[in-house]
Amino acid sequence: MAERIESRLDRLGLEPAEAAKQAGLPADFLDRLRAGRPPPRGQKLVALAEVLATSVSYLVGLDPDVAPPPDVLEEDQATLGLLAGDEEALLRAYRRLDLPTRAAVVLIARRLAGPEPEAGAVRQVGKGRR
């Protein structure tokens, strides 16, 4: 990814620190990326692609005409401590699946969960039939 970012920076005449500032990333994000740190995800990745006038697909090494995998657009919630332990375990396992299997898992989970509650409705848990 670092090479693709550098290529876009050169083409646009942007300094890495300026691009980082515009995308809401640390000024040394490119050095961090080269050192093996994980690339930006979610909205920061989208913002970086916008600053570099390219697509997220291109930045992650895919054909620019192919949609990026959903996981690169998701925020990394586990690192923010927003997920319970079982949710983190499920997410880690999910991320190891190929895209068709992920789609099947999501379909199964949605069917098992039933219809989505209407906006503003409060779902009661543990109030089953007796």
Question: What domains, with CATH codes, occur in the chain?
Answer: 1-74 (1.10.260.40), 76-119 (no CATH)
Q: pTM for the whole thing?
A: 0.51
Beta-carbon contacts of 52 under 8 Å, excluding residues fewer than 6 positions away, are 5, 8, 9, 12, 14, 19, 59
pLDDT tens, N- to C-terminus, the chain (130 residues): 888 899 999 999 999 999 999 988 898 988 888 888 888 888 888 889 899 988 888 888 876 666 666 766 666 554 545 566 667 777 778 888 888 888 888 888 888 888 876 655 555 555 444 4
- DSSP H helical ranges for 13-128: 16-23, 29-34, 42-51, 56-59, 70-73, 85-95, 99-113
pLDDT value at position 130? 44
* The two structure tokens encoding residue 56: 């997220």
The predicted pLDDT at position 63 comes to: 67
